[in-house]
Structure 1
Amino acid sequence: DIVGNLKVFASQAFRCKRCNARFRRIPLGGRCTRCGGELTLTVYKGSVEKYLEIARWLAEAYGLEEYYRQRITLVKSEIEAVFSAGEREGKKTTQLTDFL
């Protein structure tokens, strides 16, 4: 479930908050092309991370095989890489007009 949620997060769509229109890719203007409303993600960070700590605890508490503990560790590092990259991108915003 954790890996599936991460995969869906990486290929998610965007949704208009006002008219509920869906877009596979965010429009260049950053707003809904139908009504001009604000866009939001369809999959949230919390839905990707919600079972990670529980899975780690279960693996340790019930002594699961090393394969499963390593798999959980790898998924955790992938999740951290995806979200830390997003946080780095959020700090530096560049407008298209900055290149003109």
Structure 2
Amino acid sequence: TKYRRVPLKGKCLKCGDKLVLTVHEKSVKKYFEPAKQLAEKFNVTNYTKQRLSLFEKFVDSLFRNDKVKHSRLDDFF
């Protein structure tokens, strides 16, 4: 079952199982570039700039899959 908003119980209303929340990478990253631009435009504190930098690193590490290894076709011959 898909929910637009998570039920307050935190469980599926049909089967009662615990819900697994998913967040897509693009839905997080689409706000990051405007945030960096606003930080530059309004000359925010160094602390805020550092927090944005840490946030970028965190998001990158969260969505990076270290198990995926890109191979070329030549690698199989």
* Distance in 1 of aligned mates of 2:22 and 2:54: 25
For the residues of structure 1 that align with 2:36 and 2:54, how far apart are their CA atoms? 11
Question: Who is 2:19 aligned against?
Answer: 24
Identity %: 34
Q: Measure the CA separation in 1 of the matches of 2:18 and 2:23.
A: 13
Higher helix share: 1
**Runs of 4+ that moved beyond 3 A:** 22-25
Q: Where does structure 1 lack aligned partners over 5 or more consecutive residues?
A: 1-21, 26-40, 93-100
**The structure with more strand, counted as a fraction of residues:** 1
How big is the alpha-carbon RMSD for the aligned residues of Structure 1 and Structure 2?
2.9
Which one of the candidate residues 22, 26, 30 is aligned to 1:42? 22
Give the TM-score, by structure 2 length.
0.57
Alignment of 1:53 onto 2:33: yes
Which residues in structure 2 correspond to 1:56-95 (within 5 Å)?
A: 56-84=36-64, 87-89=65-67, 91=68
Q: 1:76, 1:65 → 2: CA distance? A: 17
